[in-house]
Amino acid sequence: MNRTSNTDTATENRPLHVVKNSRVHGRGVFAARKIPEGTCILEYQGERISWKEAVRRENLKAADDFHTFFFSLESGKIIDGGSQGNDARWINHACEPNCEAREEDGKVFIYALRDIARGEELNYDYGLILEERHTPALKRAYQCLCGAPSCRHTLLAPKKKKK
């Protein structure tokens, strides 16, 4: 797969993204210039930890803190963007995203799903998977504020129907 870096070809040496305040949630990542569909925008970086360590860190947080920078890898390891992370940790969720996260060789990269205009906020569908029952309280704790017409009002992935 052909990846471009955070500074594209010689025609454009400006960064692809900038971090600033977001109307969706706290901080966000925005296109600093037009980003063509298929562009690799940046890598999601952070400390690589075990699932056990992720649970330990999660349990240290305040009971009402549902913010997470964890990204699960196919290997079972977790990238903790809250520790040694980069700007990718500020990309917010959206139910109709303009980006997607792809795991390649044990790393996670954020790609543009479509052309993204300068100034547009970058987002991807978090699709958080939690084993416990998705109660109304849990859905509120992981509330989505993207405002998309198809918004499911939660960052949680839909539960798979049992056959």
Extended strands (E) in 11-160: 17-21, 27-31, 40-44, 47-49, 70-72, 78-80, 92-93, 99-104, 107-112, 123-124
Beta bridge partners of 103: 108
pLDDT in tens, the chain (163 residues): 445 555 444 446 789 999 999 988 789 999 999 999 999 999 999 999 998 998 888 878 766 665 678 888 999 999 999 899 899 999 999 999 999 999 999 999 999 999 999 999 999 998 877 777 778 888 777 888 888 898 888 888 887 766 5
Cβ atoms of residues 14 and 33 within 8 Å: yes
Beta-sheet strand order (sheet of 70-72): 47-49, 78-80, 70-72
* Confidence at residue 139, expressed as pLDDT on a 0 to 100 scale: 79
State the DSSP code for 156: B
* Confidence at residue 63, expressed as pLDDT on a 0 to 100 scale: 63
Tell me which residue has tokens 């509330």: 143
* Confidence at residue 162, expressed as pLDDT on a 0 to 100 scale: 61
* Confidence at residue 152, expressed as pLDDT on a 0 to 100 scale: 87
Q: Which residues contact 147 (CB under 8 A, 6 or more apart)?
A: 24
* Confidence at residue 161, expressed as pLDDT on a 0 to 100 scale: 65
- What the block records as the tokens of 3 is 């990846």
> Which CATH class name applies to 17-126?
mainly beta
* Confidence at residue 163, expressed as pLDDT on a 0 to 100 scale: 58
> How far is Cα 28 from Cα 7, in angstroms, rounded to an integer?
19
Residue 157 buriedness (CB in 10 A; 0-12 / 13-18 / 19+): middle
* Nearest in space to 112 (alpha carbons), one of 127, 129, 125, 100: 100
Tell me the domain boundaries of the chain: 17-126
